[in-house]
């Protein structure tokens, strides 16, 4: 359980509501990490830019990238 309460869609700006919609579309729900990040709109933008940059990199095979993501998630105890 997080120490900070996540923001619901009605409490955010239009850009963050769009992010919530995209997250729900991709993962089936809005995860708590996104709700907590929504407290700082500049952090939301920076996270989005980082995600887009990571997806744009084509120098590594997609299978290897997926394995690295799974290994990193296991190392830090992330459920995703």
Tens place of pLDDT for every residue, the chain, 80 residues? 668 888 888 888 888 888 889 888 988 998 888 889 888 889 888 988 888 888 887 778 889 888 998 999 999 988 76
Q: What is the largest CA-CA distance in the chain?
A: 40
At 50, give phi and psi (nearest 5°): -65, -45
Give the global pTM: 0.61
Residues with Cβ within 8 Å of residue 72, at least 6 apart in sequence: 78
Return the residue matching tokens 């708590």. 32
Cα separation, 19 vs 41, in Å, equals: 11
At 28, give phi and psi (nearest 5°): 95, -15
């Amino acid at each position: 359980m997080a120490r900070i309460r996540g923001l619901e869609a009605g409490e955010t700006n239009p850009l963050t509501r769009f992010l919530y919609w995209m997250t729900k579309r991709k993962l089936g729900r809005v995860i708590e990490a996104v709700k907590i990040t929504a407290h700082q709109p500049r952090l939301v933008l920076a996270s989005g830019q980082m995600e887009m940059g990571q997806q744009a990199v084509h120098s590594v095979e997609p299978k290897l990238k997926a394995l690295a993501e799974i290994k990193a998630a296991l190392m830090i105890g992330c459920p995703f």
